[in-house]
Structure 1
Amino acid sequence: MSSSNQFTVASPPTDAISALKFSPEAESTRIVVSSWDKNVYLYDLRDENGTVGEGKLLQKFEHRAPVLDVCFGDNENEIYTAGLDWDVRKIDMNTGQQTVLSSHEAGVRSVVYSPEHSIVISGSWDSTLHVHRTDGGPDTESQPAVVSLPSKPFSISLTSTKLVVAMASRALHIYDLKALALLTAQADSESTNGNGLEIEPWQRRESSLKFMTRCVACMPGDMGYASSSIEGRVAVEWFDPSPESQARKYAFKCHRQTSEDGFDVVYPVNALAFHPVHGSFASGGGDGVVALWDGIAKRRIRQYQKYPSSIAAVGFSSNGKYLAVGVSPGFEDGKDEVSEGVVKLFVRELGETEAKGKGAK
């Protein structure tokens, strides 16, 4: 097995980590982290000498309420945030200026950016998606198209052409991004602020998992997605609706431990992330374990040594060289409050073949 180096990032958040994302620029070592402490943190893993290690905190952006998700925009100088203040915000890294793109009617759980279509999509517990254009100036940025959902969205993820929305009641909607981008233009032309515009999903699906979905993550290459549940399972599915492709979908058990009396203790799978080069994926569970999986060969590549607490978020760098792991106590630890010093951000420098699956070239 290839060796890997792991280090702890300096100055972590003071409350639970909700999300983390690496810069979209291939050789960048910047990472943003959102937290329940009402802040978004921007780190660079390189120190003043250019050495990758514990890195440094570059900036911190305060919000009015806990921040539940964050993503980079077209480059590493802009980020988008979503949180319990009901707002979707754009932050200019150069000036520190925060601009509210739209306000939902409940907490905003997720936010993603599509560089191919220049749109930001947010998913809120008010059972709507807001689709924001980012290429037409401040006027269009503040006029999102609103898409009604049948239930609350718990997690969203996208490819170059599709958006996957995992909701309550085990429902999944897959949208065509081109259609969503056109919807924003229609909202502008009709001056309706997007309200009342209808769009049919490209596909409606029911989750392959029996219990509530916790996370969904799309494969690189626009092939399909993986989803996870509160009950220690992951499902792998393909977009292609043909019977042959649908016959390939499967689910498996993971993030379970045997107790001293011989019973299975089942943990939620909180986080999923696909490797951008090899197409393998990482899962992070409430058991404090991160595992790497080959979704094509249906096998576990490796499992890392247990972390000190529940895994809240995982993410690969754009070039696939680093894996970031956000660790925060959760309900699995029996703790409602987070003590000082227990929230940690770890980064692994991966060996060349560490995340490579059995069939990868």
Structure 2
Amino acid sequence: MLNQQPAPKDIEIASPPTDTVSDLCFSPTRLWEIQPTGASIPRAFIQHEAPPLTCAFTKDGTRLFATGSDGVGRLLDLQSQQTATMPNIHDAPIKCARFVEIQGGHFLATAGWDKMLKYWDLRQPSGTPTAQVQLPERAYTMDAVGPLLVVGTAERHLNIINLQNPGQIFKTIASPLKWQTRSVACFHDARGFAVGSIEGRVGIQYVDDKESGLNFSFKCHREGATPSQQSIYSVNSISFHPVYGTFSTAGADGGLNFWDKDSKQRLKQFSLVQGQITSTSFSRDGKIFACAVGYDWSKGHEYSNGLAKPGIFMLAPKDEDVKPRPPKPKTGR
């Protein structure tokens, strides 16, 4: 049996949001200022009129985009502390945002519950997207690495887009998992992606059909010795290590795992934290891991009893916890 350890809480971020964190992202160049004593100081914020659902930094880390339930985008310049507003960029709540590179230029990609994926050139003040794509259903989750962009929607659709041709969907597939998609994360080398469901499963999918033999899925974030006794939890967040290509899963059970997809091994399993993990992110060099804890609203308002205090923790994973391992030797019968 894998030795479970308490999840480390190296640094608890000062002045976290007072409600559940929907999305975490690391700046390529900055974050909360962390002092040598371990104290953290928030440096900027964006005020919203409705719950924000997603955020993304520009590639140079100078601006932060955030948006959510009101369909309004807000772009904060971290140097001037000025916020520009992008009103009504979607006709419904915006669930996903990522900065992507298209033909050498940097664009903002957004996807929402209006079943649209849109690209924005922030140098143009017109408020008109440079391109848009009709999605088969409402967008729930999205990630992008290099030329690969993947949008997971309702009804288990996974929409794969080659950003060399961003105006159309390269391929739409049904999720390999039988239940609703909760999280998507692209491999660090853009060869594929991982998808997590509300039913405690993760699927590993390669984009090239020639590598389809490498696809597989596995169970995680479950409690109980036998299937009849198991409690099953949503996989709320998946994050890939930017250097090693290993990845984390975090769930509604409050558990955190690090995995190696190539050797199909769990590298480290941490015991439950108080509350549910709602979002995670690795820093640019993979040396810091951010983890948001709070209620994920999966059981509705009646279960929001206020016992799970929202918080953000920054962990420093040991190298052996995230570094790939050789495959286990096969044993004969």
Contact 1:15 1:338 in 2 (8 A): no
- Residue 77 (structure 1) shift: 2.0
Distance in 2 between the 1:167 and 1:58 partners?
A: 34
Q: Is the CA contact (8 Å cut-off) linking 2:248 and 2:256 kept in structure 1?
A: yes
State how 1:325-340 maps to structure 2 within 5 Å. Answer: 325-331=291-297, 336-337=303-304, 339=306
Structure 1 length-normalised TM: 0.82
Cα deviation for residue 262 of structure 1 reads 6.1
Of residues 7, 10, 20, the one that matches 1:6 is 10
**Structure 1: gaps of 5 or more residues:** 31-42, 181-198
Aligned to 2:320: 353
Which AA in structure 2 matches 1:216? V
Superposition RMSD in Å: 2.5
- The corresponding residue for 1:138 is 125
The answer on 1:105 being equivalent to 2:73 is: no
How far off its partner does 1:7 sit?
Answer: 2.1
Residue 175 (structure 1) aligned to one of 150, 155, 161? 161
Report the Cα distance in structure 2 between the residues aligned to 1:247 and 1:307, rounded to whole angstroms. Answer: 36
Equivalent-residue separation in structure 1 for 2:303 and 2:223 (angstroms): 22
Match for residue 16 of structure 1?
20
The range that moved more, 317-326 or 92-101, is 92-101
Moved more, 264-273 or 69-78: 69-78
Asked whether the 8 Å contact 2:133–2:169 carries over to 1, the reply is no
1:265 aligns with 2:231: yes
Give the Cα–Cα distance (whole angstroms) in 2 for the partners of residues 24 and 210 of structure 1.
35
The equivalent position to 2:147 in structure 1, one of 146, 154, 161, is 161
Deviations 1:315-338 (A, max 9, x none): 100011011110012346775436
Given that 1:127 and 1:149 are in contact with CA atoms closer than 8 Å, whether structure 2 keeps it comes out as yes
In structure 2, C-alpha distance between the alignment counterparts of 1:103 and 1:217, rounded to whole Å: 24
1:340 CA drift (Å): 7.9
Which one-letter code corresponds to 1:227 in the other structure?
Answer: V
| Residues 1:284 and 2:225 are matched in the alignment | no
Identity among equivalent positions (%) equals 28
Cα pair distance change 1:287/1:17, threshold 3 Å: same
CA contact (8 A) 1:282 1:293 kept: yes
Report if the CA contact (8 A) 1:233-1:253 is conserved: yes
Task: In structure 2, list runs of 5 or more residues that go unmatched.
Answer: 328-333
Question: Mapping of 1:1-361 within 5 angstroms?
Answer: 6-25=10-29, 28=30, 30=31, 43-44=32-33, 46-47=34-35, 51=36, 53-101=38-86, 103-115=89-101, 117-134=105-122, 136-139=123-126, 142-180=128-166, 199-242=167-210, 245-258=211-224, 263-331=229-297, 336-337=303-304, 339=306, 342-359=309-326
Change (3 A) 1:107 1:5: closer
Give the structure with the larger strand fraction. 1
Residue 97 of structure 1 aligns to which amino acid in structure 2?
A: Q
Write the distance in 1 (CA, Å) between the matches of 2:303 and 2:83. Answer: 31
Determine the C-alpha separation between the residues in 1 that align with 2:128 and 2:159: 25
Superposition deviation, residue 143 in structure 1: 3.7
Indicate conservation of the 8 Å contact 1:23/1:76, yes or no. yes
| Partner amino acid, structure 1, of 2:17 | P
Q: CA separation of 1:76/1:256 partners in 2, compared to 1, >3 Å: closer, same or farther?
A: same
Bigger mean CA deviation after superposition, 110-119 or 308-317: 110-119
Cα deviation, 1:294-352, whole Å, max 9, x if unaligned, reads 01111110111311111100110001101111001234677543638700111111223
Maintained 8 Å contact 1:23/1:72: yes
The change in CA–CA distance for 1:208 and 1:143 in structure 2 (over 3 A counts) is closer
Give me the TM-score of the superposition, normalised by structure 2: 0.89
Following the alignment from structure 2 to structure 1, what is the Cα–Cα distance between the partners of residues 142 and 309? 28
Instruction: Return the alpha-carbon distance in structure 1 between the equivalents of residues 52 and 305 of structure 2.
Output: 16
> Equivalents in 2 of 1:64, 1:340: separation in Å?
25
Distance (whole Å) between structure 2 residues aligned to residue 84 and residue 54 of structure 1: 32
> How many aligned positions are there?
319
